């Protein structure tokens, strides 16, 4: 079929990886909530209370004001990168590498905890003013530093993708959308931002600002350091320029082109899916506490069994498929959020209205409530 011919192996890889990142990041976020609830429940002393609060402080909740101004801030950052990239590229590369190191260590942490559990206790090792860390945390951070160093030396796209995956999972896990109202404000504003900078920026700046910033490689810090220190013509000069991990890229089966998807097109819909997953869990707990009270009488039992998470995840897949087909048909870059936002928000709003949850989800649906459940069936 025509649609099938427009999707190759690179697009299929993008679909699968982006969906896996969203699902994994959402469940890591939910597990963090469970851990925080358990710590709050178990903390009876002042020291225990302090530890629980410090854990919660690592989570950032976006409010309405931040949701409105985030597209403006993103636009300013995009213009700075467009006009002054040569001046800030080294600093930006170093900052990105540091953030990617921390994020990838977070991505590797569950695997390292599994590997170190049989051979070492989970006691924390003190490193003075640097803090206290478990063996799993030290292992994940060491592996992450090693991967970043190899990426700096080789510039390989697969290592860049690994760092971008870590950034996606960490952002989905540590950032919260508190309500459906904030979700709609944020995603609608970012849709306008994406459409403007992809479709209309060329008429003002004589160049597609979004595409140029996303695809422009940066000087390797090792090369810059060797030139600054005058280490000689052969020292640090053979390292490649770096494509920064702000996107996922996958080569086609023929190697003629790369499929590219910005991490914002994964993280922002991922925050919405994380929100609905938390709401599904909250509603499940509320129904179990009320002895399984039935839903509204005008909704069938089959509709009540469909989770918001599944509905929104299917919408994300359909929107991503539509964006890919559109980019192949028009042979030009497409603002992915133009397709992802309607295909995720509209089915969610429709289902919430039919289930009678729209008013509750619209404004601060979650209450302070401890949960003894540690598992969620999806």
Reading the chain (378 residues) residue by residue, the pLDDT tens digits are 333 445 666 777 888 899 999 999 999 998 888 887 777 776 644 444 434 344 455 889 999 999 999 999 999 999 999 999 888 888 899 999 999 999 999 999 999 988 888 776 667 777 777 778 888 889 999 999 999 999 999 989 999 999 999 999 999 999 999 999 999 999 999 999 999 999 999 999 998 999 899 888 888 888 877 777 766 555 556 788 888 888 998 887 666 667 888 999 999 999 999 999 999 998 888 777 665 445 454 455 666 678 899 999 999 999 999 998 888 888 788 899 999 999 999 999 999 998 888 999 998 787 554 444 444 444
Residue 248 has which token pair?
């996922």
3-state secondary structure of 314: helix
Contacts of 225 (CB under 8 A, 6+ apart): 231, 236
Determine, yes or no, domain membership for 2.
Answer: no
Determine, yes or no, domain membership for 92.
Answer: yes
3-state secondary structure of 125: strand
Q: Tell me what pLDDT residue 225 has.
A: 79
Residues in the chain, total: 378
- The total domain count for the chain is 1
Residue 77, CA atoms < 13 Å, CB-side half-sphere: 9
Determine, yes or no, domain membership for 329.
Answer: no
Q: Does 86 qualify as catalytic in the annotation? A: no
Catalytic residue chosen out of the listed positions 8, 161, 223, 265: 265
3-state secondary structure of 235: coil
Q: Tell me what pLDDT residue 372 has.
A: 41
Determine, yes or no, domain membership for 346.
Answer: no
CA distance 30 to 35: 9
Determine, yes or no, domain membership for 306.
Answer: no
Determine, yes or no, domain membership for 47.
Answer: no
> Domain of 181?
9-39+60-119+130-264
3-state secondary structure of 249: strand
Determine, yes or no, domain membership for 146.
Answer: yes
Catalytic residue chosen out of the listed positions 194, 223, 238, 280: 194
Determine, yes or no, domain membership for 244.
Answer: yes
The radius of gyration of the chain from alpha carbons, rounded to an integer in Å, stands at 23
């Amino acid at each position: 079929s025509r649609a099938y011919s427009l999707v190759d192996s690179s697009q299929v890889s993008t679909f699968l990886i982006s969906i896996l990142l969203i699902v994994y990041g959402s469940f890591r976020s939910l597990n963090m909530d469970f851990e925080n609830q358990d710590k709050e429940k178990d903390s009876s002393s002042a020291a225990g209370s302090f530890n629980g609060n410090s854990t919660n402080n690592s989570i950032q909740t976006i409010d309405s004001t931040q949701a409105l101004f985030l597209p403006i801030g993103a636009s300013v950052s995009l213009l700075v990168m467009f006009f002054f990239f040569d001046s800030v590229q080294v600093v930006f590369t170093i900052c990105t590498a540091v953030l990617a190191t921390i994020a990838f260590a977070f991505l590797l942490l569950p695997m390292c905890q599994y590997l170190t559990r049989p051979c070492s206790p989970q006691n924390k090792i003190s490193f003075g003013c640097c803090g206290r860390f478990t063996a799993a945390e030290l292992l994940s951070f060491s592996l992450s530093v090693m991967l970043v160093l190899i990426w700096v030396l080789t510039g390989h796209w697969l290592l860049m993708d690994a760092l971008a995956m870590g950034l996606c999972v960490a952002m989905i896990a540590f950032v919260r959308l508190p309500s459906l109202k904030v979700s709609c404000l944020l995603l609608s504003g970012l849709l306008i931002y994406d459409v403007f900078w992809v479709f209309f920026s060329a008429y003002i700046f004589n160049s597609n600002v979004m595409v140029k910033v996303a695809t422009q490689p940066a000087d390797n810090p090792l090369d810059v350091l060797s030139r600054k220190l005058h280490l000689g013509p052969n020292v640090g000069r053979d390292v490649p320029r770096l494509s920064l991990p702000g996107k996922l890229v996958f080569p086609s089966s023929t190697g003629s082109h790369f499929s590219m998807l910005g991490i914002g097109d994964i993280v922002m819909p991922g925050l919405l899916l994380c929100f609905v997953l938390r709401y599904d869990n909250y509603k499940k707990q509320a129904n179990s506490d009320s002895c399984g009270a039935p839903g509204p009488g005008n909704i069938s039992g089959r509709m009540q069994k469909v989770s918001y998470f599944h509905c929104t995840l299917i919408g994300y897949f359909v929107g991503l498929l539509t964006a890919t087909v559109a980019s192949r048909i028009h042979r030009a870059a497409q603002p992915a959020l133009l397709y992802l936002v309607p295909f995720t928000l509209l089915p969610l709003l429709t289902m919430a209205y039919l289930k009678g949850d729209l008013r509750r989800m619209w404004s601060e649906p979650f209450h302070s409530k401890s949960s003894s459940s540690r598992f969620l069936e999806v």
